[in-house]
Amino acid sequence: MITVGVEEEYLLVDPVTGLPVPLVEDVRRTAGLGPIAERDEVQDELLQAQIEVATPVCSSLEEVGGHLLRLRHAVAAAAEASGCRIAATGAAPLRGTDPVPVTPTARYLRMEGEAKQLVDEHLISGMHVHVAVPDRETGVAVLNRIRPWLPTLLAMSANSPLWDGLDTGFASWRTIVFSRWPVSGPPPHFTGAVDYEERLDALVASEVIADRGQVYWQARLSDRYPTVEVRCMDVQLRADDAVMLAGIVRALVTTAITEEKAGVPQVPCAPELVQASTWHAARYGLNGTLVDPGGLARSSGDVLCALLHHLTPALEDSGDLRQVSGLVHRLLQEGTPADRQRRALAEDGLPGLVSLINGAAGPA
């Protein structure tokens, strides 16, 4: 069984106003001292109103779900003890008049010095899925093969429609905010592992970015672990939706490895088409059409059905088909988390929205 791990980012917000609050050190310290989470499972992030959790390496989706619920509960309890809440939203719906302070590490302070406005507005939260690969050559082949499906994953995960108290018109405003960094968006096609390493080295040598960690492609090879890291998704309102996406990403990687070994030709996908498809997915989520890997506009339902068909052998082998397909069908019926945020705001105003995004510790 190919192993998988998940990282989730949350915002720390005032429980009444929903405004971001810079309490990450208090929350981290409290969570690390508690009996539920290990200290190294809870990390700070660029801004002091952000916090990140990371599951251990998991072999099953049941493990992923159990760890995510455990970590969400640990951080939520620590936040409440510190006078705030965690918000599982891809972008802060509200921001105060003063910027949130940067976490005072040398790397983050350098980023603030080079791109202050981008850092000030980086109140966004993503979900990253790591899937094990046997070597970096295989990892690069996986990146090439999963590229056409990244916009679909983005559309499914969209959870950031609001910014500064207003509807942006986008399902994933986080994607638009993140796209302003120098190296971001869908990864290019690579000829192999040597090409991948040389291009990353060239980016760092250009001094436009400080290190390889600032290669913010939506999928990349991890430099810390023997994994492919898929990072195009917004953090999820519900833990079970995060589990669904983790299962889909693992099945995409598994399928790509199987096809690479079998010599199945790759579907050609021009970079400009992947880029345009990404913007379209961020704009509309699942409300309308998606661009399929062949470059054709189709209904969102049809593209998700094609994705499940593509992944069925891998999902059957892992025993995940029933769980993942059931959650995908629920997603099609209920809409994305972005749709749920908009409904909460329309039905119950700001208190309803704050209540929804602050419910990250539970499965519902």
Would you say residue 363 has pLDDT above 50?
A: no
Mean pLDDT of the chain: 95
Q: For residue 265, tell me if it sits in a domain.
A: yes
Per-residue pLDDT tens digits for 259-291? 999 999 998 899 999 999 999 999 999 999 999
Would you say residue 308 has pLDDT above 80?
A: yes
Q: For residue 181, tell me if it sits in a domain.
A: yes
Q: For residue 363, tell me if it sits in a domain.
A: no
Domain count, the chain: 1
Burial 271-291 (b: 16+ CB within 10 A, else e): eebbeebbbbbbbbbbeebbb
Domain that holds residue 46: 4-357
pTM for the full predicted model: 0.96
Antiparallel, parallel or unpaired: β 219-221 and 216-217 = unpaired
Would you say residue 237 has pLDDT above 70?
A: yes
Q: For residue 24, tell me if it sits in a domain.
A: yes
Q: For residue 282, tell me if it sits in a domain.
A: yes
The count of other CB atoms within 10 Å of the CB of residue 297 is: 12
Per-residue pLDDT tens digits for 181-220? 999 999 999 999 999 999 999 999 999 999 999 999 999 9
d(CA 14, CA 120) in angstroms, rounded, equals 18
Per-residue pLDDT tens digits for 15-70? 989 999 999 999 999 987 777 777 789 999 999 999 999 999 999 999 999 999 99
The count of other CB atoms within 10 Å of the CB of residue 270 is: 10
Q: For residue 86, tell me if it sits in a domain.
A: yes
CATH number assigned to the domain comprising residue 52: 3.30.590.20
Q: For residue 364, tell me if it sits in a domain.
A: no
Q: For residue 362, tell me if it sits in a domain.
A: no
Per-residue pLDDT tens digits for 127-166? 999 999 999 999 999 999 999 999 999 999 999 999 999 9
